[in-house]
Structure 1
Amino acid sequence: MTDKIFRKIEEELARLHMKERGVEDLKVEEDVFDKPTLEALYRLANKGLITAMDGAISTGKEANVFYALGENDRKVAIKIYRITTSNFKAMSDYLLGDPRFQNIRHTKKSIVFEWTKKEFKNLMRAYEVGVRVPEPIVAERNILIMEFIGEDEVSAPRLKDVGEYLEDPGSFFEIVVEYTSKLYQKASLVHADLSEFNILVEGGVEENARPVFIDIGQGVTLDHVNAEEFLRRDIQNICRYFKKIGVECDEEDILRRVRGE
């Protein structure tokens, strides 16, 4: 399968090299595989970080996520941000004010590259303090490789799709609050887009179901000017959803717990 992915990438590179200047803007497979992205994938494959790559497991306005195999046939997810169609204004709002990204250039390419790096760093911070997130592996340009969450090449479902079937939604909710607290108190991060759309349900809907926080690229450090506003919004989102499936939730109480007050 390694040879197959090399051949596919090399064929695309060879074809694109024949085009005129401006090839970076060529749209290939839903704006994802432009020439520089293919070259970056080739480098990652050459290092052994990608040994096989399959079709998209999720698609969005800003990025596609692909199922792949990495070193030692480890199942991984490859998230590729689109440079031509991403929401740069929204990305800039979360990057500005983050001391880790003070000197970025305000070009589409630079913002997407920094956003990819930011998601990698946020995942690493969360992973290191015990929050269940996809383990980050590498970030290069607009490509993020991380642990695949799911079974048999099928991604774990989002909370929005299976939450009503959870056998113990109360316990699941408590873990969500615990993870939010760890992000805040130990990783000095706020997810900033936490909702039923950005939580996966791992292990089925039985009593051992566990949340996995995803799409954490917009997460901000506590010294970000809007950190507290984003935290309140996260808590409002999760309380709103869990109330719908029968879990009692007091927003102010959760806020105090998350802050450790």
Structure 2
Amino acid sequence: MSREERREKDKDLFETVEEVFDTRTVLNVVELMRRKVIKRLAGTISAGKESRIYLGYTYDDKPVAVKIYLTSSAEFKKGILKYIAGDPRFEGFSPRNTRELIYAWARKEFRNLTRMYEAGVRVPKPLGLYNNVLVMEFIGEDRHRYPLLVEAYEELEPEELEIVYNKILEEIEKIVCKARLVHGDLSEYNIMVTPDLDVVIIDVSQAVDVNHPNALDLLKRDLERIEEFFRDKIGLNNTRDSKEVLEGLMKCLEKRKGE
């Protein structure tokens, strides 16, 4: 790539994100481009208080999701400290400012994605990370992401919902028993449903190690939310009691501990 082409590419990037992110964040995206992780950004997929996700493309023109964490949200800072404090992977970590904390949060999501992906959990494949910019597999087609469960359920028949429900329980089991993590914020808002009724778990930055002091409470909450959504909101028959599911997961953890 010539110097002029690089300058033009960087100019386009700044015009894309400068209204939302500070210069340092934009330079972080540029660094991922220079490392050949991504080639360009092509528009916003979703936006929230904590981050924005952009559609990006690799140098072989494959679509990817580029998640950029906001580095100036004081409210966000308060919410994430409880997920880092007590995590054995961040023992001794003491951020000096909000930016360092957000960088650690992005690193945490990348590690969680990697751990889950390697354990066979259906999550977006992690592809790269630089400070507060995370690049991962794009879950969708034709530039459109697949719907979240909360968006898809009304279009599904009862037997299809039962398939989705059982697949979610299977993914939870893999997260806990194989990856030895707890999602910590699982709900209909961070589970994607594919056209063939597969499920993809997203937003795993808050996931904690099973040895985290709050892991059991977070796991109970995850299971209760899933049960309440399918049993109470949808009215699906044949849902399993969350306490019963929890007992099975605890037995699985005890069994693996002894291996």
Q: TM-score, normalised by structure 2?
A: 0.87
Please, which of 208, 218, 227 is the counterpart of residue 220 of structure 1? 208
* 1:32-181 paired onto structure 2 within 5 Å: 32=21, 34-85=22-73, 87-102=76-91, 103-167=93-157, 168-181=160-173
Q: Secondary structure of 1:170's partner? A: helix
Tell me the distance in 2 between the aligned counterparts of 1:155 and 1:4.
Answer: 30
Aligned to 1:22: none
1:187 maps to 2:176: no
Tell me the distance in 2 between the aligned counterparts of 1:126 and 1:237.
Answer: 21
Verify the 8 A CA contact 1:188 1:221 in the aligned structure 2: yes
Quote how far apart the aligned CAs of 1:100 are.
Answer: 0.8
Verify the 8 A CA contact 2:13 2:40 in the aligned structure 1: no
Tell me the distance in 2 between the aligned counterparts of 1:93 and 1:161.
Answer: 29
Please, which of 197, 203, 209 is the counterpart of residue 197 of structure 2? 209
Tell me the distance in 2 between the aligned counterparts of 1:5 and 1:159.
Answer: 40
Aligned to 1:198: 190
Q: Secondary structure of 2:55's partner? A: strand
Quote how far apart the aligned CAs of 1:74 are.
Answer: 1.8
Tell me the distance in 2 between the aligned counterparts of 1:97 and 1:6.
Answer: 44
User: Aligned pairs, how many?
Assistant: 243
Tell me the distance in 2 between the aligned counterparts of 1:259 and 1:164.
Answer: 33
Quote how far apart the aligned CAs of 1:106 are.
Answer: 4.3
Please, which of 236, 248, 254 is the counterpart of residue 257 of structure 1? 248
Residues 252 and 64 (structure 1), Cα distance of their counterparts in 2 relative to 1, 3 Å cut: same
Tell me the distance in 1 between the aligned counterparts of 2:244 and 2:50.
Answer: 35
Verify the 8 A CA contact 1:184 1:259 in the aligned structure 2: no
Tell me the distance in 1 between the aligned counterparts of 2:143 and 2:243.
Answer: 40
Alignment RMSD (CA, Å): 2.2
Residues 12 and 256 (structure 1), Cα distance of their counterparts in 2 relative to 1, 3 Å cut: closer
Verify the 8 A CA contact 2:124 2:139 in the aligned structure 1: yes
Verify the 8 A CA contact 1:125 1:187 in the aligned structure 2: yes
Quote how far apart the aligned CAs of 1:107 are.
Answer: 1.5
Unaligned runs of 5+ in 2: 253-259
Unaligned runs of 5+ in 1: 16-26
Q: TM-score, normalised by structure 1?
A: 0.87
Q: Secondary structure of 1:93's partner? A: helix
Tell me the distance in 1 between the aligned counterparts of 2:183 and 2:13.
Answer: 37
Verify the 8 A CA contact 2:18 2:26 in the aligned structure 1: no
Residues 79 and 12 (structure 1), Cα distance of their counterparts in 2 relative to 1, 3 Å cut: closer
The one-letter amino acid paired with 2:122 is R
Aligned to 2:226: 238
Q: Secondary structure of 1:72's partner? A: coil
CA offsets per residue over residues 144-178 of structure 1, 9 Å max, x none?
A: 00000001000111000111322311121111111
The one-letter amino acid paired with 1:132 is R
Verify the 8 A CA contact 2:13 2:41 in the aligned structure 1: no
Tell me the distance in 2 between the aligned counterparts of 1:65 and 1:35.
Answer: 17
Q: Sequence identity, in percent?
A: 35
The one-letter amino acid paired with 2:246 is L
- 4+ residue segments displaced more than 6 Å: 1-5
